[in-house]
């Protein structure tokens, strides 16, 4: 399980648009790594659009936003285009990054248990240290909370 103050686990993932992103390549930037269950679902869409709307402010704070789910890059391409998302969506199709960040968890819905991605956000500073972790994120107001945490760095 990751902890605030610890070094962020390294990752390299394929992204929308046929790209690739790694934590190493983001050294010197503040990284908002947000994990979400699935492209184009109501809660995930609201969260992505909130980060979209906050994106200029986050960029001005030298922060890079990366949305992570187990969806394919093809799914990410469609989701990104549909909602005009200006940030990277990374495809953790094998779940390795979700496991490393402790967001692949048992969930219960309507009495049935299954494994899935916990909605969570990790703020990584420019030196690669985890500064904040938000678990079981409630979408409303979350992007603003993340922005305030970056401003406090």
* Residues with a known catalytic role: 44
User: What distances in angstroms separate CA 86 from CA 52, 103, 105, one per listed residue?
Assistant: 6, 24, 28
Q: What is the largest CA-CA distance in the chain?
A: 44
Confirm if 58 and 65 have CB atoms less than 8 A apart: yes
* 24 C-beta neighbours (distance < 10 Å), count: 10
Given 3-state DSSP classes, what are the helix, strand and coil percentages for the chain, each rounded to the nearest 5? 35, 30, 35
Residues 29-41 as b/e (b if ≥16 CB within 10 A, e otherwise) read ebbbbbbbbebee
């Amino acid at each position: 399980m990751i902890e605030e103050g610890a070094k962020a686990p390294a990752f390299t993932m394929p992204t929308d648009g046929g790209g690739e992103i790694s934590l190493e390549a983001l050294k010197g930037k503040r990284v908002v790594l947000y994990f979400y269950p699935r492209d184009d679902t109501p809660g995930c869409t609201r969260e992505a659009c909130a980060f979209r709307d906050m994106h200029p402010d986050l960029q001005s704070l030298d922060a890079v936003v990366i949305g992570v789910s187990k969806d394919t890059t093809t799914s990410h391409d469609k989701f990104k285009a549909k909602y005009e998302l200006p940030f990277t969506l990374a495809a953790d199709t094998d779940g390795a990054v979700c496991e490393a960040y402790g967001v692949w968890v048992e969930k219960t819905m309507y009495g049935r248990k299954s494994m899935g991605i916990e909605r969570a956000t990790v703020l990584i500073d420019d030196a690669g240290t985890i500064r904040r972790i938000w678990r079981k994120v409630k979408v409303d107001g979350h992007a603003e909370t993340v922005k305030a945490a970056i401003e406090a760095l």
